[in-house]
Amino acid sequence: MREKEKVMMTIAIFAVLIGMIMLGLPIAVSMGLTSVIFFIILGEIDTLTMIPARMYSSTTGFPLLAIPFFILVGVLMNTGGMTQRIFRLAQCLVGHIKGGLGHVNVVNSMIFAGMSGAAVADAAGIGMVELEAMTKAGFPRRFSAAVTAASSTIGPIIPPSIPFVIFGSLTGTSVGRLFLGGFIPGLIMGIAMMITVYIISSRRGYPREKRATFRELIESALQAWSALITPVIIIGGILLGIFTPTEASVVAAIYALILTIGVYKELSFGDLPRLFWETLQHSVRVLFIISAAGIFGWLLIHQKVPEMVIKNLLALSHNPWVILAILNIILLILGCFMEGISIMLLTIPIFMPLINKLGIDPVHFGVMMTLNLMVGLLTPPVGMVLYAVASVGNVPIGELAAELKWYIVALIISLALITFIPGLVTFIPNLVMGPAK
């Protein structure tokens, strides 16, 4: 097939995919159907018999086993009493700053991020507690919802992180290094959001909480300490070589079960079937998307799309910083129309050969890409966190999107910092695990 014909075929592939998405078909179904249609058009009938095996193999990587267990940890945290304890500690730590519970909301999400790896789960779970507390304290509903939505995007950056597990599985990048690489960017995101909350609260005259006494601070820390050591168990076990990131997810789930049933007694064994079913539903959605993306990626490789992208981007510039800026713009645009994990699965087979060719650290790119996709969770028309918070908070989508604009600016500034200062991502992994080979 000639170069011009390949370009036209590639355009046709993405046109059909986008058309199906716009018609309302789920992203996984759209990717799967597009792949089948074009394999038939290309005369690759025999290839169709390999599709079930390809879909199956896409979801059987060992690192992907971590996904259902990290989802289970998040479900248990949201329903088993940990949320309220962490919220109380955050309230004692930062509630006295101008904007009060807005800062509590951000810090709460930063702490909770060390236990759950999914932004939507954080927004719909712990976010509900935060939103109701802020509303009762006199904050406008849309401001409360905006802070809740924005702060939930920290979840997949501070480890553990489901997107990091997926990125590591697809690219062969160390999940442990990705986890460590997310600490500083997550902290930067939190600080940027707290600055935004402070500025908005100062201009609008929002209230602050009474400063907690030293005794109240200690009491809240003692109540929350058992939940707070979850990230220590996960990261510490990985770094000490006791278990892999996948095994760490199992350990974290077992610890959360012991804590919520045996210690806090907020849950009983009778609640487990319901929680396991909720975990199964979330896991199946994610893994189905991964399986469909597996055959779509296979189609793109068959059409040599990655090679064409590399050739055209390098024709624009050989400067890694210019290429990273272009990739960020592409991802930000895609984030307005597609769900984050779908974008990751769609673009990794295209972008990674270019990243490797330019000598960019895959850990740096993986964290940068994940943070970029978090912005997409807040932007219409397909921002999943935007819709989740608007739904649970009973706030019109338009009002919430307008209120979120300054938090999106804060996130884009954070994205620019970690894009052009790679050390913010690579410093801790290189310090703890040594330079990447």
Cα 357 to Cα 314: distance, rounded to the nearest angstrom: 10
pLDDT value for 30: 84
Rg (C-alpha) for the chain, rounded Å, is 22
Pick the closest to residue 384 from 31, 64, 118 (CA basis).
118
φ and ψ of 97, to 5 deg: -75, 150
Name every residue whose Cβ is closer than 8 Å to that of residue 291 and which is 6 or more positions away in sequence: 28, 55, 56, 58, 59
pLDDT value for 404: 92
Cα 189 to Cα 410: distance, rounded to the nearest angstrom: 8
Amino acid, res. 31: M
255 touches 233 (CB < 8 A): yes
b/e for 326-345, b at 16 or more Cβ within 10 A?
ebbebbbebbebbbbbbbbb
Cα 8 to Cα 165: distance, rounded to the nearest angstrom: 34
Name every residue whose Cβ is closer than 8 Å to that of residue 212 and which is 6 or more positions away in sequence: 91, 92, 93, 95, 96, 220
Task: Supply 408's token pair.
Answer: 């999106």
- On the question of a cis peptide bond just before residue 160, with omega within 30 degrees of 0, the verdict is yes
- On the question of a cis peptide bond just before residue 353, with omega within 30 degrees of 0, the verdict is no
- Which residue stretches of the chain have pLDDT < 50? 117
Per-residue CA distances from 428 to 94, 176, 228, 364 (Å): 26, 11, 21, 12
pLDDT value for 181: 94
By the 10 Å C-beta count (0-12 exposed, 13-18 middle, 19+ buried), 244 is classed as: middle
Alpha carbon 337 to chain centroid, angstroms: 16
How does DSSP assign 397-432, residue by residue? HHHHHHHTHHHHHHHHHHHHHHHH-THHHHHHHHHH
By the 10 Å C-beta count (0-12 exposed, 13-18 middle, 19+ buried), 346 is classed as: buried
